[in-house]
Amino acid sequence: MKPLIFHNPNCGTSRNTLAIIKASGEQPEVVEYLKNPPSRDELVALLAKMNILPRELLRSKEAINDELSLDNPELSDDHIVDAMMAHPILINRPIVVTDKGAALCRPSERVFELLENPVSSFTKEDGETIYHDNSQ
C-alpha cells in the first residue's frame, strides 16, 4: 500500500514527516485533512489502528479546545470525536498509515518505524539532524 499522510502544510512537524517519507523513496497519498477531513468512521478506524484514545489525538493547543472545555476528564470519547469532526483543527497531526501500521508522528522521526526503507538520517527544517537505526 502507498503510505497515507493526514497532513497540514502549515505544521512544521507535518512538513518534516512528509519530507522523510519522500526522502525514503515513497510517494505518499497526501490528505490535507483541514480541507478534506476524514469521516467519523474513518477517524474512529484510525484511532483503532493507532491503538489510542480520542483524547490522545486531541490537539489541545488550539483555542477551540479551551472554548469547548475539552480538557474536562468527564467528557466521553464520543464527545471528543464529535468535537474533532466539527473542528478538524483539533485532530493532531501528522497521522501516517502504511502496511506496517499507523501512528501519530509526533515527533516526526516516529515515521521511520512505518516505512519499508527509511533513510538513515534526515535534516529537519530547523537544521536538526535525526538518525534512524537501520538495525531494527
Domain boundaries 1-33+93-136, CATH class:
alpha beta
Which letter does DSSP use for residue 29 in this model? E
Question: Quick one: pLDDT at residue 134?
Answer: 59
Mean pLDDT of the chain: 95
Q: How far apart are CA 118 and CA 25, in angstroms?
A: 8
Which letter does DSSP use for residue 108 in this model? G
Choose among 113, 108, 102: nearest CA to 135. Answer: 113
Q: Residue ranges per domain, the chain?
A: 1-33+93-136, 47-91
Instruction: Note whether 115 and 92 are within 8 A (CB).
Output: no
Q: How far apart are CA 72 and CA 36, in angstroms?
A: 28
Alpha carbon distance, N-terminus to C-terminus of the chain: 21
Catalytic residue among 3, 7, 11, 111, which?
A: 11
11 is catalytic: yes
Choose among 46, 51, 43, 48: nearest CA to 81. Answer: 43
Instruction: Note whether 100 and 114 are within 8 A (CB).
Output: yes
Q: Report the SS3 class of residue 31.
A: strand
Q: pLDDT for 9-33, tens place per residue?
A: 999 999 999 999 999 999 999 999 9
Question: Quick one: pLDDT at residue 133?
Answer: 79
